[in-house]
Amino acid sequence: MRHVTGFVVALATWLIGTASAQAQDDWRVEITPYIWLALPQGDIAAIVENSDSDVRAHFDDVGLSGAFTGAADVRYGRFGMLGDLTYYSIEADKDLTIGPLPAISGKVELAGTKALLVAYYRAYQTEKSSVDVMAGVHYLGADLDVDVIGANRQISRSVDDDMWDPVIGVRAKTRLTEHIGLAGLATYGGFGVSSDSLYELHGYLTYSFTPKITAEVGYRYYSADWSGDRIKYDAALGGPVLGVTFGF
């Protein structure tokens, strides 16, 4: 998780450094706080040291304890940078598996940070629509705590792992009426660097109260498949999103 602190500091420094230039017409800064009501699906396993067996939890009917998301977008002319940061926390009583043994009751807690930092170029722009092509880096940090009590053994594990991956993507926006519009974002990455694959899809209906304040409601889905030194992660987060964008 120490990498996240550096990411946040770098993002804050970047925003402060560009804020002084906002008076120029070509500069545009947007800050968007989100609420992401995501639900987890998939498998996450803690790798047990000196053992051929992993403690694995399958997420299929677990609610999300919390997900807090914010994004910052700074653009000069056709060039810009987008940063997105999410903290998530999941707690659940689940049937856990230890290697090939039958599932037994246990407790699992998963928390972590998801971050995206990309540079983009506005490849297409009209009065109503725009399309951006993006490239950058994606970070996923996971802290996994598992407690399993079996007939012959008890396992309590607390492990954490980090994943850094390159990503590419595209973002598009269009205005349907004076106030109503559509927006979408898609990224893909991994390429075997840290994860085998990861992708993210956003889709929003937007409503502009003023030229500088826009509400967004939609859906966001994220999926990753990777195997680290201490955690195996093949899971997804998906659910509705509600946010407000403030322009400067």
Q: What is the Cβ-side half-sphere exposure of residue 112, based on CA atoms within 13 angstroms?
A: 23
Is a pLDDT exceeding 70 seen at residue 219? yes
Residue 229 pLDDT = 77
Cα distances from 237 to residues 23, 40, 62, 156, in angstroms, run: 39, 5, 11, 25
**CA–CA separation, 146 and 135 (whole Å):** 36
The pair of three-digit structure tokens given for residue 222, joined into one six-digit string? 């994220």
Calculate mean pLDDT across residues 195-216: 95
State pLDDT tens for residues 117-173: 999 999 999 999 999 999 999 999 888 887 776 666 666 778 888 899 999 999 999
* Closest to 140 (Cα-Cα) out of 161, 119, 109: 161
| Backbone φ and ψ of 62, nearest 5° | -110, 135
Q: Which fold has domain 2-247?
A: Lipocalin (2.40.128)
pTM for this entry: 0.80
Q: Where do the DSSP E strands lie in the chain?
A: 27-36, 39-47, 54-59, 66-76, 79-98, 104-125, 129-149, 154-175, 180-189, 195-210, 213-227, 231-247
Per-residue pLDDT, averaged over 26-55, amounts to 79
Contact 197, 234 (CB under 8 A): no
For residue 95, list its beta bridge partners: 105
Express each pLDDT in 56-73 by its tens digit.
676 765 655 567 789 999
Q: Which tens digits make up the pLDDT trace of 3-22?
A: 555 655 565 555 555 444 44
Q: Residue 198's closest CA among 220, 172, 170, 168?
A: 168
